[in-house]
Structure 1
Amino acid sequence: MNVRTEVTEHGVAHVLLCRTRKRNALDRATIEQLRDAVAGLATRSDVRVVVVRGQDGVFCAGADIGDWAAPSPQEAAVLSQLGQDTFDALADLPVPTVAVIEGCALGGGLELALACDLRISTSDAVLGLPELGLGNLPSWGGTARLVDVAGLGVTRHLLLSGELVDGARAAALLVVTSAHPQDGLDAAVEATVSRLLAAEPHALALSKRVLRELRSESSLEAALAAYTAGLESSRARKQAFLESRRTSRAARAAASTAEAS
């Protein structure tokens, strides 16, 4: 399983991405498992807070490029809608949700974090929306959500420039709620969860309902992301990215072999 869920006796649901060999990248199977996990949590009356985290110190490297390298128009549309529906379901949970960001939250990984109510990051985590460099658009609601949390100016800069920022800079830009040294991350998460648990649950649910009515939405995002995924220029950029990654892995393996001998 690429997604594991555990609910504590205090009503804290921990949703863990554990596709570590791919830096918790979101392929179709992982998104489907995340969708099912969220649907299961939505039916539980004992869940009061949801914490989303990545295993082995990496939150999420984004969408799995392998799924997006050369999809048919139909496949691209399905992947776009699947991710958007899953992240919408996470955002619509009646309980508060917290993303714990370590390592990186890139592209679809940042979109996942933005679907949570709060984002707590390490100061040195790397965040951003590099999709345009690969010929794609964010496809899972991240553009509208980033406008909501950080404003149009920050969204325009991060989306159009593709700049990657560290957690400390992301906190200054309001992309994340707070940023902390690695050794202070767990304490910060625990303090936040404790504050959420101290609130009256019904009032929290009503607050989320009010906030849901105020959020931005873009019906074009998924459709345009699916369209750009089918462009030849987009496919060429993603294939070049995958080839570069394969070359880097081969070089590292050769260097390790040489050192061993």
Structure 2
Amino acid sequence: MSEVVPGELWARLRRTTPARIALGRIGNALPLGEVLDFQLAHARARDAVHAALDTAALEAALAPLPVLHVESDAPDRATYLRRPDLGRRLSDRSTALLAETGTRCDVCFVIGDGLSATGVQAGAARLLKACAAELGDLAIGPVVIARQARVALGDPIGEALGARVVVMIIGERPGLSVHDSLGIYLTFAPRPGRSDAERNCISNIHSAGGLSPEDAARTLGWLLREALRLQLSGVALKDDQTPALPAKDPSRA
């Protein structure tokens, strides 16, 4: 039986995780390649936080779905990052716009830039369409694109549109492994003042080894129907659906 030397063991472990482990060293420093890789990941994360969402391009990608545009009470990105509370409140203009819409629906989808407009730009349209396909038997309101948005901004939007459930698709806080991840937050009977304990979250949705949009949509579909059946969401609503079994390999029969 051959022995596994430490270097081979670390190499195996590195293949199982995006974490920065066993980077090696040159003298007392990291190898140049690892330093440059870290700097690139850090730059991408910073860019994702500060990037502006191209709302026109996102609306085009969502076609033919009807779209409304709103913004939070944070007037610009710098204020948004310093004042999370303003990102949870609608601007006066947006409040008036939604009051004039006069729609009622089972589900209202909100797409918020959050802390990664990069992730929203890259994947939100595909994710929303996958979610809508899972909910074809429900009344879905117009898609709301929200700038300078925090998760709780979905509460006043959902209330204004008379939604039984609001689903916020938002850019997640970027890290040094993933800078373009999306999260889904589901809230039953949305209204200002809802706490995070009253929401269900599906996170880590991205193309670099994360949850696929289609898998996230299936999970959302199950949770949303349970939320409507039980008339609740959050910690009281557990994702206890039976996991799908892998298809049987006929060659092993």
Q: Same fold (TM over 0.5)?
A: no
TM-score (norm 2): 0.28
Bigger Rg, which one: 2
TM-score (norm 1): 0.27
